[in-house]
Amino acid sequence: MSQQLLKISRPTKIELIRLRRRLAIARRLHKILKDRLVILSQELISLVREAINVREELHKKLCECQELTMKSYLTHTVDVVESYIVRRHTTKSLVVGSRIFAGVKLPFYEVETGSAVASNYISAAVSSELSIKCYEETLKLVVKLAEIEESIRLIGNEVARTKRRANALEYFLIPRILNTIKYLQGKFEERERENKARMKRIKELLELRAGGIA
C-alpha cells in the first residue's frame, strides 16, 4: 500500500486540500494530453495515407519517364539526345522551411527551378523535352515524399511521447493521488472516531462524578 501512496510531509487537512487540487490539475492535463493524442494520431494516419499515394504516383511517374526516355533514344542517336540533355540544363535549388502542427515543428521542402538554357538541337527537343519535364516532376515527388516521411517520423515520435505522458498520469500519478487522498480521509475519520469515543468517556466520567457528589 505504501508504494501506491505519494510522500507527504504531514497528514493534515491542508495537505488533503492540496492533493485534491493536484488531482484536479492532473485530470485536466490528462484530458488535454488525450485530446492532443487524438489530433496527432489523426494527422499521422493522414500522412501515412498521403505517403502511400505519393509513392504510387512516384512509381507511375518513373515508369512514364522511362518510356519517354526510350522513345527519345529510338527517335535519335544517343549522342544527339545526351548532347541535348547536357545543353538544356536548368538550375535547381531546394527551399527548406518549417511549419507548426499541434506544437510539432514539421519540415517544408520545395524545389525551385530556374530557366532552361537554350539548345540548338531542335530535332531532339520535342521527344527529349517531355522526358526531361517528366524527370523534373519526378524530382518534385521525391522531395514531397521526403517531406512527408520526415513529418511521419516527427509526428510518430510526438505520439509516443504524448502517450507516455498520458499513461504516466493515468496509471501512476492519478491513482497514487487518489490512494493518498483515501488514506488521509481514513486517517481523519479514524481520528474523528477516537475523538468522539474520548469525548464520550469524558462525559461519562463527568456524569459519574456529578452523581457521586449528589
Tell me: pLDDT of 27 over 80.
yes
In 3D space, the residue among 1, 18, 36 whose CA is nearest the CA of residue 161 turns out to be: 36
Q: What is the pLDDT of residues 47-86, one digit of tens each?
A: 999 999 999 999 999 999 889 888 877 777 666 666 666 6
pLDDT at 114: 66
The model carries a pTM of: 0.77
The hierarchical CATH code for the domain 2-203 is 1.10.287.3240
| Residue 123 predicted with pLDDT over 60 | no
Domain residue limits, the chain: 2-203
Query: For 116, what's the count of Cα atoms within 13 Å in the CB-facing half-sphere?
Result: 14
Per-residue pLDDT, 158:
97
pLDDT digits (tens, 9 = 90+) for 168-214: 999 999 999 999 999 999 888 888 888 888 888 888 787 777 766 55
Q: Is a pLDDT exceeding 50 seen at residue 1? A: no
**Long-range CB contact pairs, 108-114, < 8 A, 24+:** 108/147, 109/143, 109/144, 109/146, 109/147, 110/143, 111/139, 111/140, 111/143, 114/90
Q: Amino acid identity of 200?
A: K
Measured between alpha carbons, how far is 148 from 160 in angstroms, rounded to an integer?
18
